[in-house]
Structure 1
Amino acid sequence: MERDEFPTLVEFQDEFGSWYRTLWRAGFTPNGPPSYWTKVDIEAALAALGDVPDDPPVTGDLQQNAVYPSLSVVHDRFESWEAALEAAGYETPVRPTQKWTADRLLDDLNELGDSLGRKPKAVDVAHDADMAAPRTYDHVFGSWNAALKEAGFSATPVGTPREYSDEELISELRSIAAEIDRRPRMTDVEEDDESPSPSVFRDRFGTWPAALAAADIEPKFERAPQYTESDLLDALRTLAERVDRPPSIGDLREFDDLPAPVTYYRRFESFTEALERSGLNSKT
């Protein structure tokens, strides 16, 4: 095949959904994970982990290599682990729509609370493959706090609320940065039971980047993630689910695991156009 006859990257992405999925379908193992996990990419990764439709992978298999998504990422995109497996083409013994009744969700929440010895956090649920994803609780009960109330827990934050000084918050960020040897993300703080929630840092310093700047944690030079148009639109849909409405540019700045606002302005005529292309409408 002549070089000018070889398909372009865009053509591969249009045909297979993403370059990551293209590599798996061609029998190659990607060198690293995609810059943003779409459902298509997760399905491709899960399909690569198993051998036959009736022998799906287990959650522990995700830890084999960094090219696979974490369980929390899977739960963020799908209703449950079983739903993700089903989307990847595996035969699951129980359909998610038949499994997650309100009673089952509450029973699971109480059992988790008993095993933890405290009120569960959404992140605890996200890391438990035997439970429905946090978004399922939001869908069934209206919100995570509403689910906690139904299960008999108080809706206040876990632990005794306390005031943190600027120095304590800065020290906490520096400690996390030293432990993980990189610039902390909000998800790093969420997964640390000993740390204040990300909202505490945002409320005190204005934004997450401002909190990092106050702690003198400078971003290391990294190659900018290469997002496809599909990645960008999927990220907006994910953001809409998180804020439960059509998102704004301000919402996008609050989450450091999503593309930066400037990326949308470079790829679309306006942010409004990006919302419309993603099936969202800022006026509804």
Structure 2
Amino acid sequence: MGRKRTTSKSFNPLGILVPVLIVVIAGIFFKLYLFSRESKLLNLARYNFIVLEPLTFYSLNPKEKTAIKIVLPPNLYVDSAFGYGQYKLKSVYELGELDKRGGEVLLATVSEMLGVPVDGYIDSLNLKKTYNTNLNYLDLALLGIKYVEIGEGKIKNLDLSALDVLPDLVLADGSTVQTFDPLKFDFLTQGSFHEETLILENQDLEVLNVGEVAGLGNKAARILGNIGLKVVNVANAQIPIGDCEVKADVNSLTARRIAQIFGCKVLQKEPGRANVSLILRVLHPGE
């Protein structure tokens, strides 16, 4: 009898490659999902951010493909957020870095000064070389794509000196510094920073200050009014909360945007005088 032949199975690389590809693709989609949950810009009607060098504020409108640019004078004398006191704007980032939150303090300071939300900061407009930022890769990609789509030609430059909103202030030592006039700035730029998706939702809003700092509600109302929201009431109240709460329909875009701006949680609200209630103990989380 002859020897029985044995046949070996041929190697099929697809048997290994297909499962590996499935795992890789699933990993990519999971990473994108995490980025989308942590994104500061996704689904926003307007991207407000700061470039650190040179210190510049940008506000991009992705839908209309327009943008606003404001060069921020580094020697401008400002009230720093988080109670650090009055300093020149160029010193605010380093001041915050003493507590390892330089970008956070700078964003909050510029937001209070201009009266608009500021969602992010980057080193420069060369996004490939941006290392110091609070934005994730998805945000940086969105920012880069929209900035290129808009182009330099559609960026409106708002010169603070030309707007005459930088009055002089004489300090106790006799030196003179430039300060900022928020009322005049708001009047001259009215409607420039509106977020259209929120305006379309047409929600009435009340702001309740439950903290110890006077004027907190008015500061928050100024920011919300400048993005187009209708603030119908600002008042003091005594309500036990943490730093901040938003009471509204939890599916409201307006409520979610306000919660993002002030670092709040959204709680379901019963129908009342206002559609949305913003309840604040502090203006910035951790203050």
TM-score bracket, normalised by the shorter chain, equals: under 0.3
Higher strand proportion: 2
> Larger RCO: Structure 1 or Structure 2 (Cα < 8 Å, ≥ 6 residues apart)?
2
TM-score computed with the length of structure 1 as normaliser:
0.22
TM-score computed with the length of structure 2 as normaliser:
0.22
Q: If you compute each CA radius of gyration, which structure gives the higher value, 1 or 2?
A: 2
